Amino acid sequence: MSGASIADLLRADLRGMTAYGAPQLEVPVALNTNENSYPVPAVVVDAIVAAVAEVAPSLNRYPDREFTRLREALAEYLSRGGTPISAEQVWAANGSNEVLQHLLQAFGGHGRTAMGFTPAYSMHSIITATTGTRWVDGLRAKGGEAPFALDVEAAVAQVREHQPHVVFLCSPNNPTGTALGLDVVEAVHDAAENAIIVVDEAYEEFARAGTPSALTLLAGRPRIVVTRTMSKAFAFAGGRLGYLAADPAVTDALRLVRLPYHLSAPTQAIALATLRHAPAMLETVDVIREQRDRIVEETRRLGFAPVPSDANFVLVGGFADSDEAWRALLEKGVLVRDNGLPHYLRVTAGTPDETTAFLDALSEIAPQHRQESTS
């Protein structure tokens, strides 16, 4: 007898779900996953190679379970922004997605609810589901002068209605690129008295001058957590290192759910080497910002409707059919992201040459794929 099928054995709440996966295609210009288009500088490559060589002979031993030196280095980096952060406040994992998973394992689960304000980072809801936590879609504004905005009144009303245990706030938001006012974070924190408030700041280094970080709200608010990543501004997507800053009680709670020795010795070594060269790794941030703003300006000139962005990407509206436009751009060797928002495509700000290739391709397809109302 063959017994039950795998589909029948799968958890009921996971049946019918689709795995996360942005297309990984070989194209001349890949601008779909918000990676940093610039390679790791040679001086940092040399430091990484030396760091791995140093730890390689001791790979017969488990790594530092508490990744102490790495937490100290991350705390030092965060403190450069003007808000003192201690190593006891820092947690890290294999990418920010694993950090989010730890948070949901600790504070979500069966019988608990998490919510976010969509459109936002799709992995918030996916990871929520995989931990057996109920997900609630909060809503953002539609249209108007500030599309996809989230104001205090709307956020507080929705939080009070659903009484979540975990709330996700994304700033700058993915896929819209919009930054969130700290008044919204404070108001949600005060309204959701029984919730952990997770402020996802994966793209914070790209924010325009004067955009405040939720790190400034941590003191006296032990339920606020700020998550970051080295994948974007640090050009470290392949290194898989995400982290957070929070009250030490939060990091203590995460020790209950992390797997033993979850950060390998090579991962810790290369992350430390990279952080020691933070200025070199962040040298491309300004030029990426310039290309982001160039995309906003030029797509608007072409008759589209870009959303002003504080991230390293731009959500461009005004397509008659976003799926058809995505395919038309792909035929010209330019891969962007279709997030499922009608009439919108998201494009990463790459190198000047990549931006030019995107804009040239968009200019060619614009007459056939632009909404008449935006022309």
DSSP strands (E only) in 318-368: 334-335, 344-348
Alpha-carbon dihedral of residues 341, 347, 348, 349, nearest 10 degrees? Answer: -140
Predicted pLDDT at 373: 62
β-pair type (313-317, 305-306)? antiparallel
| Assigned token pair, 133 | 């936590």
Q: What is the percentage of the chain residues whose pLDDT exceeds 90?
A: 90
42-278 belongs to which CATH class? alpha beta
Name the phi and psi angles at 30, rounded to 5: -105, 110
- The model carries a pTM of 0.94
What residue spans define the domains of the chain? Answer: 25-40+283-374, 42-278
pLDDT tens column, 318-339: 999 999 999 999 999 999 999 9
CATH superfamily of 25-40+283-374: Aspartate Aminotransferase, domain 1 (3.90.1150.10)
Q: Say if residue 231's pLDDT is above 60.
A: yes
Mean pLDDT to the nearest integer, 23-32: 91
- HSE-up (13 A, CA, CB side) for residue 367: 1
In this structure, what token pair is assigned to residue 182?
């700290």
Helix (H) or strand (E) holding 257: none
Quick one: pLDDT at residue 3? 86
Q: Is the pLDDT of residue 21 over 80?
A: no
Work out the pLDDT band at 375, boundaries 50, 70, 90: very low
Confidence of residue 143 (pLDDT cuts 50, 70, 90): low
